[in-house]
Structure 1
Amino acid sequence: MMEQYSIKQKCVDCDNRKICNYCPALFFQENKSFEKPSEYLCCITETKKKLVEKMDKEYAC
């Protein structure tokens, strides 16, 4: 049975994909599903993105 919430719906089209530590094994550990993204990884990635943007502004040449 395919789950309604698939990786394609959230991860593949996510703007943060390039800086994310995307890992289906962690998805499974958190959600018991390889398809449902980890809210923890999403939160960590969003925090990482904000820090990078802040550093870019502060240290721009």
Structure 2
Amino acid sequence: MSSLFLLVPLSLVLVVIAGWAFFWAVDNGQFDDLDSPGWEVLRDEPTPPEPSAPDDV
């Protein structure tokens, strides 16, 4: 029973910290664009420009 006097307030503090972190992330735009970073992997690299004249070696 005495452990509950420590664990209940500790769990309430952790819930408050987790709630604060969630609302901070939402307010700072962390969840604004969830799809674009996943599509970055699938984009092709830009093709290099072709030389206009052959090089004389």
Judge same fold: TM > 0.5, yes or no.
no
| TM-score interval, normalised by the smaller of the two chains | 0.3 to 0.5
Higher helix proportion: 1
TM-score by length of 2: 0.42
TM-score by length of 1: 0.39
The higher-RCO structure (CA 8 Å, 6+ apart) is 1
